[in-house]
Amino acid sequence: MEITVDGRKTKVAGASDVADLLVKLKLNSEETLVKVNGRLAPNGAKISPMDDVKVMRVIFGG
C-alpha cells in the first residue's frame, strides 16, 4: 500500500486499519492525523490498498 506521510510517499505492507498502519510506521496515534479518501479517520477505520491515505504529524509546543 502506498501512503503519504508528511508529504512524502512511502510503502507499507499489510496494514488493515489506521491503528495498525501507525504501528507499522512507528508513529504515536496521539500525535498524528490520518485522512482516508479525504476524510479524517479514527484508529479503528479499515483501510485497503485502493484507499488514498495521508498521515500528518501534529506539532506540539509553544
Rounded average pLDDT over 17-27: 96
Find out whether 13 and 1 touch, Cβ atoms under 8 Å: yes
Specify the number of domains making up the chain.
1
pLDDT of residue 59: 81
Measure Cα distances from 46 to 14, 35, 50, 62 in Å: 12, 12, 12, 34
Range of the domain at 8: 2-57
Q: What is the mean pLDDT of the chain?
A: 93
pLDDT of residue 19: 96
Does 21 map to a domain? yes
Does 62 map to a domain? no
Does 8 map to a domain? yes
**For 28-55, how does the pLDDT look when each residue is reduced to its tens digit (9 = 90+)?**
999 999 999 999 999 999 999 999 999 9
Write the CB contacts of 1 (distance below 8 Å, at least 6 apart in sequence): 11, 12, 13, 15, 47, 48, 49, 51, 53
Query: What's 47's domain CATH number?
Result: 3.10.20.30
pLDDT of residue 1: 81
Does 38 map to a domain? yes
Question: Is pLDDT at 62 greater than 80 in this prediction?
Answer: no
pLDDT of residue 2: 85
